[in-house]
A and B are shown apart, each in its own frame.
Chain A
Amino acid sequence: DAKTTQPTSMDCAEGRAANLPCNHSTISGNEYVYWYRQIHSQGPQYIIHGLKNNETNEMASLIITEDRKSSTLILPHATLRDTAVYYCIVRAYYNTDKLIFGTGTRLQVFP
């Protein structure tokens, strides 16, 4: 699986949009971009995934650049409960299901 690079930590004010970047410059054409988050002492929670088009669901939006070498996860109105470690992962859509986690971004939402 391709490796990803994320900032170690970020802060965001409650109610504002949180934009979490991820670089995946060696991503292959068949690899998807996945985002998970882990709140302290819990299992990871799926947020969103995409291949090349921008995606939106009830939790977040995923913006993938045209060359697919980077992406941004957007939490439109961050709340204190969004404080977590956010993991950006690229994974091929074949023969293997496993997710390889990087170091992630620790997002701190403050009042």
Chain B
Amino acid sequence: GAVVSQHPSRVICKSGTSVKIECRSLDFQATTMFWYRQFPKQSLMLMATSNEGSKATYEQGVEKDKFLINHASLTLSTLTVTSAHPEDSSFYICSARDVEQGNEKLFFGSGTQLSVL
């Protein structure tokens, strides 16, 4: 099946710094990628939809200036958590749709555990 690579898997940063998370589709082109956030013992919450070559679409309540998303190519989307604070500590997961396989299923990265001190 299609593979989505997410990097880094774990990051620890100081409060006030910015952190970039990369999401790559390794063997397919993804015109659309999705970013989710998950707090401990909770379900995944969709943050935004990342479209190649255009601005991301954010879900209600998600600050677009806080969570910068760039989807510059068909295989790479990045999420930058700007001026991170402890409340931003969470598990961030990306997903992508394999265009070749049609609109049937999404593939997920392995996630990034962000810890802000």
The residues of A that contact B111 with a CB separation of less than 8 Å are 41-43
Tell me if B108 and A45 are in contact (CB < 8 A).
Answer: yes
Given A41-B113, A43-B6, A102-B43, is A97 in contact with B108 using a C-beta cutoff of 8 Å? no
What residues make up the interface of B, taking CB atoms closer than 8 Å to A?
A: 1, 4, 6, 32, 34, 36, 43-46, 49, 91, 93, 95, 97, 103-111, 113
- Across the interface, do A97 and B103 meet the contact criterion of CB distance under 8 Å? yes
Does A81 have its Cβ within 8 Å of any Cβ on chain B? no
State A87–B32 Cα separation when bound (angstroms).
22
Q: A38-B44, A104-B43 are in contact. List 17 more A-B contacts (CB 8 A).
A: A41-B91, A42-B111, A43-B4, A43-B93, A43-B108, A44-B44, A44-B95, A46-B1, A46-B108, A97-B97, A98-B34, A99-B106, A101-B36, A101-B45, A101-B46, A102-B43, A103-B43
Interface centre among A45, A87, A99 (most CB of B within 10 A): A99
Measured CB to CB, the residues of A under 8 A from B are 34, 36, 38, 41-46, 49, 87, 93-94, 97-104
B105 touches A46 (CB 8 A): yes
Candidates B44, B106, B113; contact of A97 at CB < 8 Å = B106
Q: Which residue of A lies closest to B1 (CB)?
A: A46
Contact status B32-A43, CB under 8 Å:
no
CB of A101 within 8 A of CB of B43, answer yes
